[in-house]
């Protein structure tokens, strides 16, 4: 294995640890025309944008599309980019279909299904199902249709040893458990998701999972515990530049529901 082979994975690990700009500088020091480098740069930029509110991913994704062509991984990244563009309209979370183009939402739904069917392996199919569920849940407001996709994603993540896919599926299945009144199962899923995120070195994901545990503490009457945890999340997210999560923590500490 060469140094060039190591760079994309090292950059992804840096991004998970909250060092997205450092990860991009590392990738930029490599071969700009290498498909693996271009793909990793688009992935890292998308993570950075979500965490800090920057606008790095669009240009990086366009470069990856030019270099890699109609590769499955690039098409999946484009789906993710287009999903987040709808979810974060105007820079803030905008759940549901109101104010959005129904034809565009239907296209995202169809593209997710096509990616799942065309995936080259079970883990990639699981990721496509994960985002199909998110599109149904967060853009189309079809809550009943989303959990079966998360369940497929969970099986794929567990079977394929993909911890990020596993914790994403657990996170959203736990949300549906909570909405259904099964707080015990929701807590179990969220605690496991938190441990998986921490074990993978994913600082932002770990804090986001802890935010859900703070919500759970409030749900179950432990207001002191929920506030103590949210205060630490607020401090950590501020220190690491996770601006959206910091706003969520501050909103929670003010006694309001978080998105």
pLDDT digits (tens, 9 = 90+) for 133-180: 999 999 999 999 999 999 999 999 999 999 999 999 999 999 999 999
pLDDT range class, residue 52, cuts 50, 70, 90: confident
pLDDT class of 32 with cuts at 50, 70, 90: confident
Alpha-carbon torsion (39, 40, 41, 45), positive or negative: positive
pTM: 0.94
* pLDDT at 51 > cutoff 90: no
- Whole-angstrom CA distances from 216 to 31, 227, 259 are 46, 11, 14
Determine the average pLDDT of the residues in 228-249. Answer: 94
In this prediction, residue 218 carries a pLDDT of 96
Residue with tokens 């179950």: 220
* Confidence at residue 259, expressed as pLDDT on a 0 to 100 scale: 67
Stronger pLDDT, 118 or 241, i.e. the higher one: 118
pLDDT of the residue at 5: 76
Selected residue with higher pLDDT from 1 and 227: 227
The Cα 37–Cα 40 span in angstroms is: 5
* Contact assessment for residue 137 and residue 143, using Cβ atoms and an 8 Å cutoff: yes
- Is the confidence at residue 252, as pLDDT, over 80? yes
How many CB atoms within 10 Å of residue 256? 9
């Amino acid at each position: 294995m060469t140094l060039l082979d190591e760079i994309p994975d090292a950059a992804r690990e840096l991004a998970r640890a909250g060092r997205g700009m450092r990860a991009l500088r590392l990738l930029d020091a490599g071969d700009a025309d290498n498909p693996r480098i271009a793909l990793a740069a688009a992935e890292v930029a998308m993570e950075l944008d979500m965490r800090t509110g920057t606008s790095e991913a669009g240009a990086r994704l366009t470069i990856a599309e030019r270099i890699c062509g109609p590769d499955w991984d690039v098409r999946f990244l484009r789906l993710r980019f287009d999903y987040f563009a709808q979810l974060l309209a105007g820079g803030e979370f905008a759940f549901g279909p109101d104010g959005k183009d129904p034809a565009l939402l239907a296209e995202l739904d169809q593209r997710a299904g096509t990616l799942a069917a065309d995936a080259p392996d079970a883990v990639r199919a699981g990721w496509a199902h994960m985002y199909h569920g998110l599109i149904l849940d967060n853009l189309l407001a079809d809550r009943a249709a989303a959990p079966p996709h998360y369940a497929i994603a969970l099986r794929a993540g567990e079977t394929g040893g993909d911890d990020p896919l596993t914790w994403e599926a657990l996170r959203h299945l736990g949300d549906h458990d909570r909405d259904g009144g099964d707080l015990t199962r929701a807590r179990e899923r969220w605690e496991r998701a938190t441990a998986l995120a921490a074990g993978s070195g994913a600082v932002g994901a770990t804090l986001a999972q802890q935010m859900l545990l703070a919500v759970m503490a409030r749900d179950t009457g432990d207001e002191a515990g929920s506030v103590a945890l949210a205060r630490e999340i607020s401090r950590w997210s501020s220190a690491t530049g996770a601006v959206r999560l910091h706003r969520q923590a501050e909103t929670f500490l003010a006694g309001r529901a978080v998105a």
